[in-house]
Structure 1
């Protein structure tokens, strides 16, 4: 089917108008509701592995309490991995977490959990 010469420019113009991005059309310019940005959170942890012993120092520079926990994965299949208990790192506080394997350490990480909002 062949378009006549008078319909071809109209068809091209219609395709261009329809292909405009939705955000560029006037009805799409509605301001999104701004939500309050979350407060900074989370202690910074320095982890040191010395042989089979692990020590982590976590410093919380923020107002919210960060509950940190040390997790150790041991290299040997028979060596018991460990998940430490949660320790509350309050505002401007540094906490020390320790643990160990019987032999080599495969991996270590610290988990973080917030404790409500600042008063």
Structure 2
């Protein structure tokens, strides 16, 4: 005589009540598992009427030698870049300087110079179209 085992009542099956929470859990976690490339790019795409912005700005190298500052700026782009050297001096009584703007044309390198009476605290170059 063979004894039959009773059916397990907690089994997950589609006709029971345990399957809908599993389906709901999968439906909520599936979007998190998708790769980022699958996301919509509607908010990051450029507008149809506007062209993409063109690269701009000369690449500048700044060197400090004692109280003198020299910057070389090379503009590889077709638009002209107006660059200026700004020097901040270390001593409170030493005057900080903002140099005049120099025009860096396409494929042109310009040299900018500035100085302090004593030590230089910082120097940087600003760009303007």
TM-score (normalised: structure 1): 0.75
Offset at 1:7?
2.4
Match of 1:42 in 2: 57
**Which of these residues, 18, 21, 24, is aligned with residue 8 of structure 1?**
18
Structure 1: gaps (5+ residues) = none
SS at match of 1:21: helix
Partner Cα distance (1:57, 1:15) in 2? 60
| Runs of 4+ with deviation above 4 angstroms | 28-31
Partner Cα distance (2:73, 2:40) in 1? 44
Whose relative contact order is higher, 1 or 2, with alpha carbons under 8 Å and at least 6 apart? 1
Q: Is the counterpart of residue 20 in structure 1 residue 30 in structure 2?
A: yes
Match of 1:109 in 2: 124
TM-score (normalised: structure 2): 0.70
**Root mean square deviation of aligned Cα:** 2.5
Classify 1:104/1:63 alpha carbon distance in 2 versus 1 (closer, same or farther; 3 Å): same
Partner Cα distance (1:23, 1:90) in 2? 50
Partner Cα distance (2:72, 2:117) in 1? 21
Partner Cα distance (1:75, 1:83) in 2? 15
Classify 1:21/1:72 alpha carbon distance in 2 versus 1 (closer, same or farther; 3 Å): same
**How many residues are matched?**
108
Classify 1:9/1:40 alpha carbon distance in 2 versus 1 (closer, same or farther; 3 Å): same
Pairs within 5 Å for 1:40-119:
40-113=55-128, 115=129
